[in-house]
Amino acid sequence: MGKPTGFLEYLRELPLDRPALERIKNWDEFHARTEDKKLQEQAARCMDCGIPFCHTGMLLSGMATGCPVNNLIPEWNDLIYCGLWQEALERLHRTNNFPEFTGRVCPAPCEGSCTLGINKPPVTIKNIECSIIDKGWDNGWVAAEPPAVRTGKKVAVVGSGPAGLCAAAQLNRAGHAVTVFERADRVGGLLVYGIPNMKLDKRLVQRRVDLLAEEGVTFLTSTEVGKNYSVKRLSLGFDAVVLCTGATQPRDLPVPGRELKGVHFAMEFLTANTRSVLTSKRDGEFISAQGKDVIVVGGGDTGTDCVGTALRHGCKSVVQIEILPRPPLERAPDNPWPEWPKVYRLDYGQEEAATVFGADPRVYLTTVKQFVGDDQGQVQAVVTVQIKWEKDAQGRFVPKEVPGTEETRPVQLVLLAMGFLGPEQSLLEQLKIERDPRSNVKAEHGRFTTNVKGVFAAGDCRRGQSLVVWAFNEGRGAARECDRYLMGDTQLP
């Protein structure tokens, strides 16, 4: 490495975000940029550890350990320390099609498995990655690279989320004619309508879509395969199909009062909000949190995004209900390095809520018993109860209510952010695709082939709800196997 003692000399430093009270006034990204000198110092903390775990991309205890797209992190850290920014970008693009997305929204499992993180704060890998690609765009180093030769093969990619865009980019690179089908009015799937603008500016997504189009990818929006574009037409018109439809069936909360007005799935709230940000209009689907007591049921990134969005609407209060216990401040003995550290974090939404209302909005070991409505069928209160986790007869941990801990909280807007159950089934049924016991597409990781010849599957529709970076992994992998199917061999990584 450029500076073998850098990890001993420099402390971990991240740029300061815009102050919470300032950033909740608009939908702009809130992360500041880091000056080059500081970035070189942070890259110098990469310690030449010999066997780096940061780019392993393994699953340990059911969680990602290291980078699922196997970014060559120590290599581009060294290049940044040496001031070789364009070379670092080239190295980054070898494994990651869209680092400006992962550099903003990935939870950075690479940092959780950084060797330096065993006993010191890890390298600021995510910030360095984002800085490399941002500098690349600023300097014009990111340009269209259409393939020199076309194969004459046609491939349909169904879904334009993270997996679909990666698959399209790679298949187009191999010389195939790629058409991406998107049922929404904009290309990007989760990247556009599932992630708020303050975390990922939609202009960055459109910039990549425009570049892919310049390279030869065709995008069809407002086109839903199986509805206004028939499965038969798809089968006859393409030599292969890659399904990247995501896992869009939300987990519901079957408690009394669920049918009341004002109780919504999180994605209904987030999607309508992003559409209003992009169009500067509020249609009949827009859900406002302004002046309301808001309850968010569920943690994770989606729950945090609901908190941050509600604050930008000007909510009266916000409470986030989590059924799990509060994580410890440091790794527990049963959560050793290089596993993902299950520790307490104050994400951007909770930080903003704490600034506005004086405390972290999350309440732990709590669940909803029922929603209470008024005479007009509008939700006005939620009854919660504390729980404890105990083993059942089969040895599985299950939640048990703690008697006497019921509490009634005022609420006019409830947002259900409890994750997703799997892909929507209509298209899969029309294609006669086999499903696994969890209703996901049955296709082996690494091969991505379904039971239907020439049809591949990648991303959340295959593996279930997961990280954006796993969608990148699968989109690239499915493209590789699709290319092999079409050509008999493949040069795709």
pLDDT tens digits, 244-294: 999 999 999 999 999 999 999 999 999 999 999 999 999 889 999 999 999
Find, among 345, 432, 338, 419, the residue nearest to 115 by Cα: 338
> Beta-carbon neighbour count of residue 247 at 10 Å?
24
Residues 228 and 296 in one domain: no
| pLDDT of 3 above 90 | no
pLDDT at 358: 97
pLDDT classification of 48: cutoffs 50, 70, 90: confident
Tell me the pLDDT of the chain averaged across its residues.
96
> Beta-carbon neighbour count of residue 5 at 10 Å?
11
Residues 237 and 257 in one domain: no
CATH number, residue 80: 1.10.1060.10
| pLDDT of 205 above 90 | yes
| pLDDT of 109 above 70 | yes
Residues 406 and 301 in one domain: yes
230, 309, 448 from 235: Cα distances, Å: 9, 41, 18
306 in a domain, yes or no?
A: yes
380 in a domain, yes or no?
A: yes
146 in a domain, yes or no?
A: no
Residues 306 and 399 in one domain: yes
Q: Where does a domain end: 138, 172, 206? A: 138
Q: Where does a domain end: 391, 418, 445? A: 418
Residues 387 and 359 in one domain: yes
pLDDT classification of 50: cutoffs 50, 70, 90: confident
H/E stretch holding 399? strand 397-401
275 and 283 in contact (C-beta within 8 Å)? Answer: yes
Q: Where does a domain end: 108, 138, 168? A: 138
212 and 172 in contact (C-beta within 8 Å)? Answer: yes
End-to-end CA distance of the chain: 26
Q: Using the structure block, give the residue that is written with the tokens 């798809």.
A: 234
- For 13-25, how does the pLDDT look when each residue is reduced to its tens digit (9 = 90+)? 999 999 999 999 9
| pLDDT of 106 above 70 | yes
Residues 133 and 59 in one domain: yes
pLDDT at 296: 98
CATH number, residue 279: 3.50.50.60
Residues 412 and 463 in one domain: no
Handedness of CA 464, 466, 470, 475 (dihedral sign): positive
**What is the mean predicted confidence (pLDDT) over 44-63?**
91
pLDDT at 77: 96
pLDDT classification of 342: cutoffs 50, 70, 90: very high
Residues 408 and 259 in one domain: yes
148 in a domain, yes or no?
A: no
Residues 232 and 283 in one domain: no
pLDDT at 343: 96
Instruction: State how far the Cα of 485 lies from the Cα of 224, in Å rounded to an integer.
Output: 25
Instruction: State how far the Cα of 310 lies from the Cα of 306, in Å rounded to an integer.
Output: 6
Instruction: State how far the Cα of 486 lies from the Cα of 163, in Å rounded to an integer.
Output: 19
Work out how many domains the chain is built from and give that number.
3
pLDDT classification of 1: cutoffs 50, 70, 90: low
| pLDDT of 156 above 90 | yes
- Tell if the pTM clears 0.85, that is, is over it: yes
- For 373-422, how does the pLDDT look when each residue is reduced to its tens digit (9 = 90+)? 999 999 999 999 999 999 998 889 999 999 999 999 999 999 999 999 99
Residues 234 and 276 in one domain: no
| pLDDT of 7 above 90 | yes
Structural domain boundaries enclosing 89: 6-138
| pLDDT of 2 above 80 | no
Q: Which residues contact 301 (CB under 8 A, 6 or more apart)?
A: 105, 107, 347
Percent of the chain with pLDDT over 90: 95
